[in-house]
A = this chain, B = another copy of it.
Amino acid sequence: MSFEVTILGNSSASPTHSRHPSSQYVNICDHHLLIDCGEGTQMQLARYKIKKSKISQIFISHVHGDHILGLPGLLLSMNLMKREQPIHIFGPPELFKILDVFFKYSDTQFCFETHYHIVDPNKRSVVFENLFYKVIAFPLFHRVPTTGFLIEERSKLKKLNMEVCERLKIPFTFYNDIKMGKDYCTPEGKWIKNEELTFPAALPISYAYCSDTLFDERVIDAVRDADILYHEATFMHDRLDRAVYTMHTTAKQAGIVARQAGAKKLIVGHFSARYDDLEPILLEARSEFPNTEIAQEGKTFILE
Contact = CB atoms under 8 A, between A and B. Distances in A.
A139 interface: no
Contacts of A98: 101-102, 105
Interface stretch (A27-35, A62-70, A201-209): A62-70
10 contacts: A13-B77, A15-B42, A15-B43, A16-B43, A21-B73, A39-B69, A40-B40, A65-B76, A69-B72, A107-B144
Nearest to A42: B15
A65 B106 contact: yes
Residue with the greatest number of chain B CB neighbours at <10 A, chosen from A21, A40, A72, A143: A40
A80 interface: yes
A43 B46 contact: no
Interface residues of A, number: 36
Interface string A139-151: 0000110000000
Nearest to A20: B43
A98 B107 CA distance: 12
Given A39-B39, A101-B98, A15 B69 contact: no
Interface in A62-108: 63-66, 69-70, 72-73, 76-77, 80-81, 94-95, 97-98, 101-102, 105-107
A80 B144 contact: no
Contacts of A80: 13-14
A17 interface: yes
Interface in A29-54: 39-40, 42-43, 46-47
A46 B40 CA distance: 14
Contact of A40 (B43, B72, B106): B43
Contact of A39 (B63, B66, B73): B73
Contacts of A20: 43
A95 B46 CA distance: 28
Given A13-B80, A17-B46, A106-B144, 18 more contacts: A14-B76, A14-B80, A15-B46, A16-B46, A39-B69, A39-B70, A63-B102, A63-B105, A66-B73, A69-B72, A69-B73, A94-B105, A94-B106, A97-B105, A98-B102, A102-B102, A105-B144, A107-B144
Nearest to A13: B80
